[in-house]
Structure 1
Amino acid sequence: MNKILELREKRAKAWEAAKAFLDTKRGTDGLVSPEDTATYEKMEADVVALGKEIDRLEKQEALDRELSKPLNTPLTGKPAVPGMETKTGRASDEYRKAFWNAMRTRAGEGLDPIVKNALQIGTDSEGGYLVPDEFERTLVEALDEENIFRRLAKVITTSSGDRKIPVVASKGTASWIDEEGAILDSDDSFGQVSIGAYKLGTMIKVSEELLNDSVFPLEAYISREFARRIGSKEEEAFFTGDGSGKPTGILAVTGGAQVGVTTAGAAAITIEEVLDLFYSLKAPYRNKAVFVMNDATVKAIRKLKDGNGQYLWQPSLQAGTPDTILNRPLYTSAYVPAIAATAKTIVFGDFSYYWVADRQGRVFKRLNELYAATGQVGFVATQRVDGKLILPEAIKVLQQKA
């Protein structure tokens, strides 16, 4: 049996056992003794640990598939003939090879005129080279793995620094009309949301020995490392950014999601409040809505039951599918605050109404002299990106009492 499927079944059984134990140990007052509470928390910790192991194995399996791909593409197609479509510009094989030759070679050294001419296609105004199309796609795929937000939000690419998105602010209505009466005007009103481009960058240092070693997979290393750094910083801004020098996050006071429910307590969440949050979102948005919260909040939600004695949180039994709350997918992010006074602890809504705008390609530079004394070469990657919630009513948040 597949190891991941085996662990999922084991996790589901452990969760059922934990629920059954909790039900049998409740006193007539509905409370659980400290000894039984400690036992239950140990059982719950085992469920959490199994979930994390499943995540690790799934990532490991994905990485194994990536690394097991052949290094060279076999010649299975027919030879090119005149008129056959070929890749051009930054998507061409010529540009890709020239790009990585330039990255491995000290600026201006060892580059023949043909390589230099090829690189002219992607010369950036700031002195770097635009990332080849193939590399850029690899980077975006890696970002998807590191950053849950890009999987949930709508991602667009814009060629200009500012893009205005028309939004219907209010809709017109129909009205009953008397015989021969005039039809009343009732127009829709329109507004605009402007998406700009904020600069996000990071730098990696690589030793000259590794750089000159043709065996070292420079492309794969840089893809993964940039994905980890950029993906983490992006997700933080998409949740908590204030719009000053960075995107406007979902939890921002201005421009963020609407507060659907304010809890009665500063340090607790009840099942009624989760249900109120669920139904505070209009039905059309609930069809594609997801829950996002901190791991610590998930732990608190796990103990809540509905009126039929069913737990709100249900574990996933199928690989690649998330756990659920009220039959809606549940995702976790470290950038959603944990339970505390005034904190916005649960986000629920249709994330496709949060737009992430990538401004053209990512730019790559090589720094030769800065770390020459230590035998290292620096690589700088920058991208311009913005994000905004286009329709605030599409996402609701639960906020703790002050």
Structure 2
Amino acid sequence: MTDFIKRLQERRLNVWEQTKALLDAAEARTGEERKLTAEEETTYQALNADLDQIDARVKDMVEAEQRSKDADEAFRSLLDQPVNPDQRGGAAKGEVERVRSWLTGQSARSLDIRPESPLPLDSRTLSKLTATAGANTVPISFYNQLVQHMTENSGVLAAGPTVLRTASGEQLQVPKTTAHSANASIVAEAGNLTANDPTFGQVSLDAYKYGFLLQVSHELANDTAVDLLGYLAMQAGRALGNGFGAHLVTGTGSSQPNGALTAATLGKTGAASVVGAASGDDLIDLFYSVIAPYRNSSSCGWLMRDATVASIRKLRDNSGGAGTGNYLWQPGLTAGTPDTILGKPLYTDPNVPSVALSAKSILFGDFSAYFVRQVESLRFERSDDYAFNTDLITYRAILRGDGDLVDTTGAVKYFAGNAA
């Protein structure tokens, strides 16, 4: 991590301290004066905007560093200079060369991008490691770049769902837990044991097709083939992440994935006196509405939109008396690590509804209970004829996937604004 990024992180922590000082000063007053004045509210919003801008800047800088390393290695490859085998695996290098050849029209017009390990069925958790945790030492293939950008644009994918990859797209039946066994009871000697079975159902995971077109000039494709590789990965990943990711949050389950918000169960309803917003006590109640095994999972976290985070930053617990406890929201201490609420990571997604009456504005729970099915390959096709009159090359990207919650006993809960 560069010194500049470290300075940005220090500035972020400093802005948060200013924000806390502003809120603490308001809390120290009595009665109605405890509310932020119009001037203080303006300052508070400006500080929040500054936090968000720093977050975006740090993210861009980290990505720029990685792109620079990838580009340097690609140029070394083009110049036939030896590459340290510890820096890049042969499979990843071969994939990059194959994609570059396809981009510039030197090979077939269709290209399938697959994970490096050709497993027929792979169940794992998506995660996004920081550069300081060792990500810079791991070779990044074109496929992994795509997945990274998809994850960055989908809060559900970033939160750590269970990902099932299949080689083909036939319907996949996954068992679903709808009720756990009840408590065992004392039985008299020679007495009959009571049946106590859990209740199961089935989740059908299909392979809905998501696709888009991307056009670039013939000159761009042939003059800057190295840069075009990262550009296509970024644009394809973001487009597929935005489309697929929206349904992973709010999909209806009818001819599209069943979104995490749709499948989750109610954990807490807001107070009647508050127009849709959550209080500190509401978040604590929502936290403990998820039972301990799910709550203690490494994939347990919060999901909400950015606008909701601004109001959450004001909230405290009551551990030190009314309004004098610890802030529930805590900033991540290193670049790339998520902020936390009550010690659990916070992920944001623009597809989560805004705070409003009856709105499901906050999700909390174990996102590993949400299954994302993805057909193994990401299909790309290239056409020089589609926009022949403008000398544009058209690329088509297609992803097939689905998603659903496989444990409806309460692994993931939502907060709803008061309906009255």
TM-score normalized by structure 1? 0.82
Q: 1:397 corresponds to which residue?
A: 414
* Paired residues of 1:367 and 1:379 also in contact (CA < 8 A): yes
Aligned length: 369
Deviation at 1:12, TM superposition (A): 1.8
Deviation at 1:97, TM superposition (A): 5.7
Selected match of 1:251 from 258, 261, 264: 261
Bigger mean CA deviation after superposition, 39-48 or 282-291: 39-48
1:28 aligns with 2:44: no
Q: How does 1:286-301 map to 2 (within 5 A)?
A: 286-288=295-297, 289-301=300-312
Q: 1:261 corresponds to which residue?
A: 268
* Paired residues of 1:9 and 1:317 also in contact (CA < 8 A): no
1:175 aligns with 2:185: yes
SS of the residue 1:279 aligns to: helix
Bigger mean CA deviation after superposition, 191-200 or 237-246: 237-246
Selected match of 2:317 from 288, 298, 306: 306
Q: How does 1:67-82 map to 2 (within 5 A)?
A: 67-71=71-75, 72=77, 74=82
* Paired residues of 1:161 and 1:359 also in contact (CA < 8 A): no
Deviation at 1:25, TM superposition (A): 4.0
Q: Distance in 1 between matches of 2:53 and 2:310?
A: 12
Deviation at 1:102, TM superposition (A): 5.1
* Paired residues of 1:8 and 1:316 also in contact (CA < 8 A): no
SS of the residue 1:341 aligns to: coil
Write the letter of the residue equivalent to 1:397. Answer: Y
TM-score normalized by structure 2? 0.79
Q: 2:291 corresponds to which residue?
A: 282
Selected match of 2:62 from 43, 52, 58: 58
Q: How does 1:194-213 map to 2 (within 5 A)?
A: 194-213=204-223
Deviation at 1:15, TM superposition (A): 1.8
SS of the residue 2:386 aligns to: coil
Write the letter of the residue equivalent to 1:15. Answer: W
Q: Distance in 1 between matches of 2:244 and 2:53?
A: 27
Q: Deviations over 1:298-325 (max 9, x none)?
A: 1111111211222111112222211111
* Paired residues of 2:102 and 2:111 also in contact (CA < 8 A): no
Q: 1:324 corresponds to which residue?
A: 340
Percent of aligned positions that are identical: 34
Q: Deviations over 1:340-396 (max 9, x none)?
A: 222111111111111111113122222232210111121111121111111131111
Q: 2:375 corresponds to which residue?
A: 359
Selected match of 1:157 from 154, 157, 165: 165
Deviation at 1:214, TM superposition (A): 6.5
1:188 aligns with 2:198: yes
Q: 1:15 corresponds to which residue?
A: 16
Write the letter of the residue equivalent to 1:311. Answer: Y
SS of the residue 2:7 aligns to: helix
Bigger mean CA deviation after superposition, 157-166 or 172-181: 172-181
Change (3 A) 1:103 1:185: same
Q: How does 1:79-228 map to 2 (within 5 A)?
A: 93=94, 101=101, 103-105=103-105, 128-131=110-113, 135-151=142-158, 152-158=160-166, 159-172=168-181, 173-213=183-223, 215=225, 217-228=227-238
Change (3 A) 1:139 1:32: closer
Deviation at 1:103, TM superposition (A): 4.8
Q: Deviations over 1:186-236 (max 9, x none)?
A: 333332111111000011112222334365544332212111111111211
Q: 1:82 corresponds to which residue?
A: none
SS of the residue 1:69 aligns to: helix
Q: Deviations over 1:20-75 (max 9, x none)?
A: 23323453213343333333433444334333333333333333333333431726
Bigger mean CA deviation after superposition, 146-155 or 214-223: 214-223
Deviation at 1:76, TM superposition (A): 6.3
Q: How does 1:226-237 map to 2 (within 5 A)?
A: 226-237=236-247
Q: Deviations over 1:226-278 (max 9, x none)?
A: 111111112111111112332111122xxx11111111233432111111111
Q: Distance in 1 between matches of 2:224 and 2:57?
A: 35
* Paired residues of 1:210 and 1:216 also in contact (CA < 8 A): no
Q: 1:80 corresponds to which residue?
A: none
Name the Cα RMSD after superposition: 2.8
SS of the residue 2:190 aligns to: coil
* Paired residues of 2:332 and 2:338 also in contact (CA < 8 A): yes
Q: Distance in 1 between matches of 2:196 and 2:376?
A: 40
Larger Cα-atom Rg:
1
Change (3 A) 1:45 1:142: closer
Deviation at 1:155, TM superposition (A): 1.2
Change (3 A) 1:306 1:205: same
Write the letter of the residue equivalent to 1:28. Answer: T
Contiguous gaps of at least 5 residues in structure 1: 78-85, 106-110, 120-126
